[in-house]
Amino acid sequence: MTQIPVLENYFIHFKEAIDSYALPEAFTFPFYYQPHPLCLLAAEELQRYLEAQTEWQHNFGISGNKEMAIGKMFGVLLVQNKAKEIGYLAAFSGNVAGKNHLPHFVPPVFAAQPENGFFIAGQTIINQITESIIDLQKNPQILELTTLLQAEIDASLLQIQAHRDKMIEGRKSRKALRLSAESAMNIDDLHRLKEQLGKQSVAQKNQLKDLNGYWQKKIQHAQKSLHQLTNEIAALKNQRKVLSASLQQKLFDQYRFLNTKGSLKSLTDIFKDTAQLAPPAGAGECAAPKLLQYAFKSAMKPLAMAEFWWGESPKSAIRKHRNFYPACQGKCQPILEHMLEGVAMDTNPLLSNPAAGKSIEIIYQDAAMLVINKPAEFLSVPGKRIQDSVYLRIKQSYPRATGPLIVHRLDMSTSGLMLIALCKEAHKNLQRQFIKRTVKKRYVALLDGLLTADKGNIDLPLRVDLDDRPRQLVCYQHGRPAQTQWQVIERKNNQTRVYFYPLSGRTHQLRVHAAHVKGLNTPIVGDDLYGNKATRLYLHAESLEFNHPISKELMSFQVEAEF
């Protein structure tokens, strides 16, 4: 990697006059925000630059080969420089065009260079060990001995099982012979017969013991021959693992992040008190830390920030070309909490109670259960910071109710029908109906775009994004099965109204299935996690059909959406 002049001037002046724009009153809360107008302007300028520049080439998938495309997150930081001028800085996450630094963009927080060449030297040693492992693994004797070992194991299993089958048949034969002899022989002859049969049994057991010993020696001999070749490989792999861990730790210590107070903290120190304990892969390489680091080093005042996705959507997470996204919780939150210490920020909207002033409409009530209409932006159960929820309201209104109350959940942002059990028996029965998928559910949603097909099925397994909870990822390796049927109701004003029929109940299932490129590739209007924020999430649990938990009577409820 080439040497990067840390304090080279990456300050970018706006190309148009910004006198009519009001400056931000406080810095952006990076984990939930609407981009400030000046950040939108800076992002537009940066996007025009990305479209026009010819200094480097990277396949973002905007045009060309989408199979090899890699989209990237870019960020802009509105700043005031030492001359009191207002402009912005630009950065990208990770590498672009195979490099961690390009013209126009601030440098990485740490770059492995010849003068601090421990990383390059360490990586060279690790690469040499890897090459040695590959060379050793090419030895044809390893395959031959592996094949021989497996053949010996297979042969031993066949022979031992054949002898066990012979012993079983022998026991049956001897038992039949004893039973027959007991009525036909005198006592002395019967005694001699039993001794003879006993000796046969002992002989077969000894034969099994000898057979096990014979094959154990053959297998051990084959294993010993194979291990003589593979032990060196195992030792090299262990050496590589130790060196990699040591190099990674040393690398973490080199990533030192500034804040407005001039305090430096390494990745190791930042993450040691978090749930992860150690920094996750890629920590410190996102756009936001790079931008703030350069601003603090250059004595620039950060005013506001925004990050957007540029390029083809990834296969797992939901990222749309040109859409803005908050900083991630897993990699960036601990770093940014340190870097933004002492910076006046916008109020964290996630701390305010979205249910304040809202009430729950009861659609049906009896001694066993309730059917309610949950408002949008209303928690089903208490959260980490906010207790107000359907559970708390019902608990307060029905203090004599027993059991867990909540049978199933709706996302905080989703409105619509929910079942509440007022006794343990009802709760158990209703939950069983959900588990067996006998409850019929229908949602109505407004999608931000036009669908070409009229109906279909979506089958995309989901799991939580460990680096950015509560977002969900499509993951075929570790995801849980999730299926949704859908049907178009209406197309109007470049939006599509649809029915969703979820066949499973995964977190954010309908939102991800709507937005993901392998789903409908059209997010729900107002989806602040997977699309664009609006006045609300346009998703409503419209109808429920189930059997009453006590009377078993078929019950059906429907409440129209308010959109």
CB 219 within 8 A of CB 157: no
Q: What is the 3-state secondary structure (H, E, C) of 327-351?
A: CCCCCCHHHHHHHCCCCCECCCHHH
Strands 415-421 and 539-547: parallel
- CA–CA separation, 13 and 9 (whole Å): 11
Task: Provide the 3-class DSSP secondary structure of residue 554.
Answer: strand
**Can you state the angle between helices 187-254 and 140-184, rounded to 10 degrees?**
150
Angle at 94 between CA 10 and CA 1, to 5 degrees: 70
CB 488 within 8 A of CB 494: no
- CA–CA separation, 339 and 105 (whole Å): 19
Give strand ranges (E) for 408-524.
Answer: 415-421, 440-447, 455-459, 462-464, 472-474, 483-492, 495-502
Nearest C-alpha neighbor of 102 from the set 52, 134, 158, 57: 57
Sort residue 543 into left (φ over 0), alpha (ψ -120 to 50) or beta. beta
Nearest C-alpha neighbor of 330 from the set 253, 277, 386, 398: 277
Give strand ranges (E) for 39-131.
Answer: 72-80, 86-92
Sort residue 391 into left (φ over 0), alpha (ψ -120 to 50) or beta. alpha
Among 253, 346, 388, 411, the one annotated catalytic: 411
- CA–CA separation, 39 and 34 (whole Å): 10
420: how many CB neighbours lie within 10 A of its CB?
A: 26
Would you state the structure tokens that stand for residue 118, as one six-digit string? 């421990």
Give strand ranges (E) for 23-160.
Answer: 72-80, 86-92
DSSP per-residue letters across 286-300: SHHHHHHHHHHHTTP
Phi, psi of 211 (to 5 degrees): -65, -45
CB 459 within 8 A of CB 504: no
Give the Å distances, CA to CA, from 245 to 47, 130, 238, 256, 276.
Answer: 38, 15, 11, 19, 16
Q: Is 411 a catalytic residue?
A: yes
Task: Provide the 3-class DSSP secondary structure of residue 309.
Answer: strand
Phi, psi of 88 (to 5 degrees): -150, 160
Phi, psi of 52 (to 5 degrees): -100, -25
Give the Å distances, CA to CA, from 187 to 20, 169, 190, 191, 192.
Answer: 119, 26, 5, 6, 9
Catalytic residue positions?
Answer: 411
